[in-house]
């Protein structure tokens, strides 16, 4: 469901704030969203992807996340950002790889999850 909301652009989902925590999540998600339409190529099943990610909203929401949450989010977002472009021939593999990346953040705390969703920031 998160992926569907995110891909539809409904809730797409700082250096100073996260410098001590290794926080690449907001940067990676910004990059991933910026390239989502291109990366998903002809595999988007007619879904329009919009770029409405807010770096500042992401950084503010991460204040509700533990260091373990941030570590999981960093892994998941880095994984997503490294996905190759999807083509009709690779869609099954792409979808599986995307799901595996999203699974990296499956243990994020409820408070972190809620803060990110409230801020309109995607959890992978």
Which two tokens mark 17?
Answer: 């704030």
Q: What is the mean pLDDT of residues 23-39?
A: 77
Residue 100: per-residue pLDDT: 93
Furthest CA-CA distance within the chain: 41
**Degrees to nearest 5, angle at CA 30 with 29 and 36:** 80
More confident residue, 107 or 7: 107
Are the C-beta atoms of 12 and 124 separated by less than 8 Å? no
Is 124 inside a domain boundary? no
Are the C-beta atoms of 74 and 25 separated by less than 8 Å? yes
Residue 49: per-residue pLDDT: 56
Is 30 inside a domain boundary? yes
Q: Which domain holds residue 30?
A: 2-118
How many independent structural domains does the chain possess? 1
Give 71-86 pLDDT, tens digit per residue.
Answer: 999 898 888 888 888 8
Given a cut of 90, whether residue 111 has pLDDT beyond it is yes
């Amino acid at each position: 469901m998160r992926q569907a909301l995110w891909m539809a652009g409904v809730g797409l989902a700082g250096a100073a704030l996260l410098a001590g925590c290794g926080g690449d999540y907001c940067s990676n998600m910004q990059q991933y969203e910026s390239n989502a339409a291109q990366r998903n190529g002809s595999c988007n099943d007619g879904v329009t992807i919009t770029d409405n990610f807010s770096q500042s909203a992401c950084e503010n929401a991460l204040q509700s996340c533990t260091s373990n949450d941030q570590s999981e989010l960093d892994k998941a977002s880095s994984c997503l950002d490294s996905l190759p472009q999807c083509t009709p021939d690779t869609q099954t593999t792409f979808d599986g790889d995307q799901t595996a990346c999203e699974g990296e953040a499956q243990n994020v705390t409820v408070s972190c999850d809620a803060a990110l969703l409230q801020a309109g920031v995607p959890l992978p």
